[in-house]
A = this chain, B = another copy of it.
Amino acid sequence: MSDLVRLSLSLEKPLLDQLEMLVKRSGYTNRSEFVRDMIRERLVQREWDEDREVVGAITLVYDHHVSGLSEKLTDEQHHHHRVILTTTHVHLDKSLCVEMILVRGRASEIAALAGRLRQYKGVLHAGLSTSTTGAHIK
């Protein structure tokens, strides 16, 4: 953690009251931490918009009974091993699996990988969580 500095802002009294309400309702105990998180949220969004190096999680839900699907998904992941940090596999029910793939790389490459995995027949859903390496938002 870096050293803390003070930031002083002016705002309308009713807006300050509304901010207090937001902080409380969001479960924060600390006003500063709430504002810091708003800033960080913008920074992460910016990293994805500007196609910087980011971190993300791809969530794949698929039917492992579909012939050849597991092999194809594994192959596709191996072609992108450079951006894949780790893969976790969980059995959801008799036929469905969820695979959670932690990725680190350029935003466009990660989005493209999620897109490619989604298109296989038998993949019911591919979700993408957009996060950060943290390098620029500490």
Q: Which residues of A contact B (CB under 8 A)?
A: 1-16, 18-19, 22, 26-44, 46, 55-59, 61, 63, 65-66, 85-86, 88, 90, 92-93, 96, 98, 100, 102, 104, 115-116, 118-119, 121-122, 124-138
Are A61 and B66 interface neighbours, CB within 8 A? no
Report 26 cross-chain contacts, Cβ distance below 8 Å, ordered by A residue.
Answer: A1-B66, A1-B122, A2-B14, A3-B12, A4-B10, A4-B11, A7-B19, A8-B9, A11-B35, A14-B138, A15-B36, A15-B137, A22-B42, A27-B115, A30-B119, A33-B119, A37-B118, A37-B119, A56-B59, A57-B129, A61-B134, A90-B102, A100-B102, A124-B138, A126-B131, A127-B131
Are B15 and A39 interface neighbours, CB within 8 A? yes
Are A40 and B63 interface neighbours, CB within 8 A? no
Are A5 and B1 interface neighbours, CB within 8 A? no
Q: A11 is contacted by which of B5, B19, B130 (Cβ under 8 Å)?
A: B5
Are B138 and A132 interface neighbours, CB within 8 A? no
**A122 and B137 alpha carbons, distance in the complex (Å):** 11
